[in-house]
Each structure stands twice: as structure tokens, then as C-alpha cells.
Amino acid sequence: MSLLFSPMKIGNLEIKNRFIHSATYEGMAADDGRVRDALIKRYAKLAKGEAGLIIPGYMFIHPLGQALKYQTGIYSDEMIPGLKKIAAAVHGHDGRVVFQIAHSGRQTTKELIGRKPKGPSAKWRNPVDFTKPVEMKEDEIHKAIRDFGSAARRAAEAGADGVQLHAAHGYLINQFLSPFYNDRKDKWGGSDENRFRFLKKVVTEVQSALPENMPLLIKLNSNDFTPRKGIVPSLAATYAKWLGDLKIDLVEVSCGSVDFAPFNECRGDIPVDEMAAGFPWWKRPFIKAKLNSWVGKFDLQEGYNIEAAKLIKPALGKIPLAVVGGIRKLKHMEEVIVRNNADFISMSRPFIREPNIVKKFRQNKTNTVSCISCNRCLAAILYHLPIRCYNKGLPLSK
């Protein structure tokens, strides 16, 4: 039997195969972040399709840390009953579920959170709406750390099998880690060790909030691909070594950022017309020109984070590593595992189109995913549409 279908443990949690549903924004929650039936059905379907580990879309830990409309929330105990239904739905089909928790930091909008976004530093205007973030104060930093711990406690109370910290894609933890976003001169910036301090404190806070032996995972950028130097693979390997010292249980390697490098994060086609039409009319010419300038520069490369994973994995020692990013063929997935480049294969867009893809692989019904990386599912976010495959087209008005 292929190693892809052999079990492996993440901490003390046994996963029945090497496939992970990587956290994917769903746009299916209520206005206040509460779980709705569509979310429960989505994750029941993925568990039934035999995804070994399911990580639902990032859950915001505080209303000021919400990134997008209809994002799932985990900022209040009132969220727990709905979150329990997600865990129960996955467990009902012999699946395992880890809740990803996140804070948007500067990567949100004033319209959504009611104030100017805040991050580690007041630098670099948002490239779309040109908003400049406000620098977080010391007490706000400590409040965010405590909020991560409270969210982790809620995840455990809701029945999740573990917690993943979102330290990638330009969100708050990534912002502290990255030399691009973080130019603080205090203990929270100025050196690799200081930039790591926020994540280190969050890890300690979350570990103290979780039951003993409940696994803690980290999603880490291997490369920010920001306009000026941010995290690069060598720095990511350093951070991975320090995370190993903190005894976390798995690192998932990704790249890019929503604001500054979205198509490094999701390589493939650029649906220019659909994406441009999702912006206000007065922004469309600028957005369309920018998108057209990118066409052909971000074509899908099979396994585009694997080279970075090869550098990061040795730094982790015995801690397992998952890699996400454009891995589409079963043969290639097997090679990644056999060559010990990673221990788990994470996928996002393929599971949107085929929630039963793992079962199809196991039953020898296909040897490749059918996702064509058209990225219309990414464009759908601009219209506040729920996640699904939109490869046949999107509406061009909100």
C-alpha cells in the first residue's frame, strides 16, 4: 500500500492517512461568525471523503481580528455550540479536525472592523485601498496573545482534536515574524529573535490553555514574496528550529500573502475580468491593469513549496511537516512522502472541487485531481460568495 494511506501521528493524535485539508476560507458563517448549517455539511462531506485531517478555515479570535465577511468566529464562548457541531460532524465519519485560529492584524478593512487596522508597525500602505496601518501598543500586543489562548480553550471545549496557529499569508503572527512588516525597535522587533517573540508567547499561552497532549500545529510562511525582503526559506528554517524547541507538533509550509502576494500563495490562472469587476467601479481600471501585468507570471508549478520544505524539514528534527501548494498528481504526492521531503500532503483548492478526492485516490478511480487552478474560487471572495468551484464562471456584479 502507498505510504499516502499509512497512518501517522501528530503528537498523540493518529491520522489515518497523509492527506490534510488545508484551512480554506469558506464564507459560510453568519454575520457575527457563528457556525451555520452549510459549514457543518461541508466538513461532514470532507470527512466522508476520507480526508485524514481536516483544518477548517481560519477562525478569528477577536472582532478586531476579523479578516473577511462571513468568516467563522471563535472569539466568544457563544460560538462554542456551533463549533461543536463541526467537530461532531467530522468525528461522525471517523475524521479528525483541528481548528485554525487567526488574527488579521493589519490585513483587514476599516469598513469591516470599524477602525483603522493595526499591526506590528505603521508601514507599507495596503496596495489596494492604500490604508496605512496603526502600530500596536504594548498592551494591545499582550491582549492579542491572551485572545489566542482563549480561542484555543474554546476549540478544545468544542471538541476539536487540536489547534493550528495561522502564522502565514500576511496575518498578524506572520506580520510580527516578517522583516517586511515588522520594523519595531523594541523587544518585539529589530532581530530575528525579537520578531519571533510574539509567536513564542502565543505558543506558550495556547499550550497552557490546551488539555495535556492536545496537539498544536503551526502554519508557517516559507517565503512572504513581499515587495521588499520578508521571510525567506532560510529564515523560515530558523523559525522552524525554534518552534521545534517549543515542542509544537507539526509545521505546515505555505507562502505568500493576501494583500501583497496573493498569486504566489495560490499559483495558477488570474481571472482578470471577474476579479476586477469585484471592486468599486473607480478602482477597476487600476486593478485590471495590475492583474493583466501579472498574467503568465504565476502559472501553476507542481508543488511550488516543496523546495522550501526540503530546507525546513531537517530543522524540525522528528516533528512532522506538511506541505501545501499546487500538488496535483498522486505520483508526485507519493514521491514527496517517499523522499521524506514532507510527512503530509496538504491541499486546499482540490478539496473545493472534489471533497471525496482522497477516497477516489484510495479506490484507484483517478491519479490526479481535477482542479485546474483557475482561481475563480479566489475571485468569489470579492463577491462574498460561499466557497465552491466556480470554474464555469462567476457573476460580474455584487
Choosing from 25, 171, 181, 304, the catalytic residue is 171
In this structure, the chain runs to a length of: 398
| CA nearest to 4, candidates 346, 300, 313 | 346
C-alpha cell, 253: 509550509
Half-sphere exposure of 102 (CA within 13 A, CB side): 32
Residue with cell 461543536: 84
Task: Give the Cα-Cα-Cα angle 116, 120, 123 (nearest 5 degrees).
Answer: 70
Positions of E strands within 208-325:
216-221, 250-254, 321-324
Please say if 171 is a catalytic residue.
Answer: yes
| CA nearest to 160, candidates 247, 86, 94 | 86
Residue with cell 468551484: 389
DSSP assignment of 77-88 equals GGGHHHHHHHHH
CA–CA distances in Å: residue 205 to residues 150, 216, 291, 361, 389: 9, 11, 41, 39, 37
C-alpha cell, 150: 482563549
Q: Are 19 and 347 in contact (CB under 8 A)?
A: yes
Residues paired with residue 97 on neighbouring β-strands, in sequence order: 54
Give the C-alpha separation, 149 to 388, whole Å: 31
φ, ψ (nearest 5 deg) of residue 99? -85, 130
Burial track 14-42 (b if 16+ CB lie within 10 A, e otherwise): ebbbbbbbbbbbbbbbeeebbbbeebbeb
Please list the active-site residues: 171
